[in-house]
A and B are shown apart, each in its own frame.
Chain A
Amino acid sequence: MTSFAPPRERSPLAGAATALALAGLVGAGLWAARRPQPRPQPGSALPVETARQPAARRARQGGMLLAASAAIDGATEHYRGGFHRWEMYLGPAASIGALAASAMQAAMPRPLREGLLLTAAGVGLAGHAFHARNILDRPGGVCWSNLFYAAPIGAPGSVALAGLAGLAATMLERREPEMPHRRGRWIAIGTVAGLLGTTAEVALLHFRGAYHNPAMYIPVTLPPIAALTLGAAAARPSPTRLRLAHRMLGATAMMGLVGTAFHAWGVHRNMGGWRNWQQNLLVAPPLPAPPGFTGVALVGLAAIDLLEASE
Chain B
Amino acid sequence: MISQGSEIRAKDGRAPDVFSRDGWVAMRQYREAEEVDVAVIGTGAGGGVVAAKLAEAGLSVVAFDAGAFYRPLADFASDEREQDKLYWTDDRISGGDDAIEMGSNNSGRAIGGSTVHFQMVALRFRPEWFQARSRLGYGRDWPVDWREMWRCYDEVEDALKIAGPVTYPWGPKRGRYPYRQHELNASAQVLARGAEAMGVDWSPCPISTVSAPRGKSPPCVYRGFCKIGCSTNAKQSILNTYIPRALAAGAEVRDLAMVGRIETGSDGRATGVHYHRDGEWRFQKARRVVVAGYSIETPRLLLNSSSPSHPQGLANAEGLVGTELMVHSNHAVWGVMEDEIRWYKGPPSMAVCEHWNYDDDKDFHGGYAFMSQGPLPTDFATSMVKNLGVFGMELRRRMALYNHMAGLKIVGEVMPTPANRVELSEETDALGLPLPRITFRFGENDRKLSDHALRFMRTMHEAAGARDIFETAGSAHLMGGCRMGFSAADGVVDGAGRAFSCPNLWIADGSVMPTGGGVNPSITIMANATRIAGHMIGAIARGEG
A residues apposed to B, CB below 8 Å? 7, 9, 138-140, 144-145, 148-149, 207-210, 212-213, 266, 269-272, 279, 283
B218 touches A139 (CB 8 A): no
A301 to B211, CA, bound (A): 37
A139 to B202, CA, bound (A): 10
B211 touches A144 (CB 8 A): no
A9 to B181, CA, bound (A): 30
A254 to B153, CA, bound (A): 42
B213 touches A140 (CB 8 A): no
A212 touches B213 (CB 8 A): yes
Q: Pick the contact of A144 from B21, B167, B178, B234 — CB < 8 Å?
A: B167
Q: Name the residue on B nearest A139 (C-beta).
A: B192
A149 touches B232 (CB 8 A): no
Closest-CB distance, A233 to chain B (whole angstroms): 36
A209 touches B189 (CB 8 A): no
Q: Pick the contact of B218 from A9, A138, A213, A270 — CB < 8 Å?
A: A270
Interface 0/1 of B174-198, CB less than 8 Å to A: 0000111101100001001100100
Q: Which B residues are in CB contact (< 8 Å) with A283?
A: 219, 221
B47 located at the interface, meaning its Cβ lies under 8 Å from any Cβ of chain A in the complex: no
B183 touches A271 (CB 8 A): no
A266 to B165, CA, bound (A): 23
A272 to B451, CA, bound (A): 45
B213 touches A270 (CB 8 A): yes
Q: Which A residues are in CB contact (< 8 Å) with B165?
A: 144-145
A145 to B168, CA, bound (A): 12
Q: Pick the contact of A271 from B192, B211, B234 — CB < 8 Å?
A: B234
B166 located at the interface, meaning its Cβ lies under 8 Å from any Cβ of chain A in the complex: yes
Main secondary structure, interface of A, reads: loop
Q: Name the residue on B nearest A146 (C-beta).
A: B184
A272 to B234, CA, bound (A): 12
B473 located at the interface, meaning its Cβ lies under 8 Å from any Cβ of chain A in the complex: no
A210 touches B212 (CB 8 A): yes
A266 to B213, CA, bound (A): 8
Q: Pick the contact of A210 from B167, B179, B192, B221 — CB < 8 Å?
A: B179
B448 located at the interface, meaning its Cβ lies under 8 Å from any Cβ of chain A in the complex: no
23 contacts between A and B (CB under 8 A): A7-B21, A139-B193, A139-B202, A140-B196, A144-B166, A144-B180, A145-B181, A145-B184, A207-B180, A208-B180, A208-B211, A208-B212, A209-B180, A212-B213, A269-B213, A269-B218, A270-B219, A271-B219, A271-B221, A271-B232, A271-B234, A272-B221, A283-B221
Q: Which B residues are in CB contact (< 8 Å) with A270?
A: 213, 218-219, 221
B181 touches A148 (CB 8 A): yes
B167 touches A139 (CB 8 A): no
A209 to B212, CA, bound (A): 5
Closest-CB distance, A274 to chain B (whole angstroms): 13
Q: Identify which of B202, B214, B219 gathers the most chain A CB atoms within 10 Å of its CB.
A: B219
A208 to B163, CA, bound (A): 10
B480 located at the interface, meaning its Cβ lies under 8 Å from any Cβ of chain A in the complex: no
B67 located at the interface, meaning its Cβ lies under 8 Å from any Cβ of chain A in the complex: no
A140 to B193, CA, bound (A): 8
A272 to B231, CA, bound (A): 11
Q: Which B residues are in CB contact (< 8 Å) with A208?
A: 180, 211-212
Interface 0/1 of B214-237, CB less than 8 Å to A: 100011010000000000101000
Closest-CB distance, B427 to chain A (whole angstroms): 41
Q: Which B residues are in CB contact (< 8 Å) with A149?
A: 183-184
Q: Which B residues are in CB contact (< 8 Å) with A9?
A: 21
Closest-CB distance, B223 to chain A (whole angstroms): 9
Closest-CB distance, B144 to chain A (whole angstroms): 30
Q: Which B residues are in CB contact (< 8 Å) with A269?
A: 213, 218
B112 located at the interface, meaning its Cβ lies under 8 Å from any Cβ of chain A in the complex: no
Q: Which B residues are in CB contact (< 8 Å) with A279?
A: 221
B204 located at the interface, meaning its Cβ lies under 8 Å from any Cβ of chain A in the complex: yes
Closest-CB distance, B230 to chain A (whole angstroms): 10
B180 touches A210 (CB 8 A): yes
A207 to B212, CA, bound (A): 10
Q: Which A residues are in CB contact (< 8 Å) with B232?
A: 271
Closest-CB distance, A179 to chain B (whole angstroms): 47
Q: Identify which of A138, A209, A210, A213 gathers the most chain B CB atoms within 10 Å of its CB.
A: A210
Asked if A210 meets B196 with Cβ closer than 8 Å, knowing A145-B181, A149-B183, the reply is no
Q: Pick the contact of B183 from A148, A209, A272 — CB < 8 Å?
A: A148
Closest-CB distance, B21 to chain A (whole angstroms): 8
A210 touches B211 (CB 8 A): yes
Closest-CB distance, A82 to chain B (whole angstroms): 12
Q: Pick the contact of A145 from B21, B183, B218 — CB < 8 Å?
A: B183
B189 touches A144 (CB 8 A): no
Q: Which B residues are in CB contact (< 8 Å) with A138?
A: 189
Closest-CB distance, A308 to chain B (whole angstroms): 42
Q: Which A residues are in CB contact (< 8 Å) with B167?
A: 144
Q: Which B residues are in CB contact (< 8 Å) with A266?
A: 213
Closest-CB distance, B399 to chain A (whole angstroms): 26
B213 touches A145 (CB 8 A): no
Q: Name the residue on A nearest B163 (C-beta).
A: A210
Asked if A212 meets B212 with Cβ closer than 8 Å, knowing A138-B189, A271-B218, A271-B232, the reply is yes
Instruction: Tell me the B413-462 residues at the A interface (CB within 8 Å).
Output: none
Closest-CB distance, A10 to chain B (whole angstroms): 10
Q: Identify which of A208, A272, A283 gathers the most chain B CB atoms within 10 Å of its CB.
A: A208
Q: Which A residues are in CB contact (< 8 Å) with B221?
A: 270-272, 279, 283
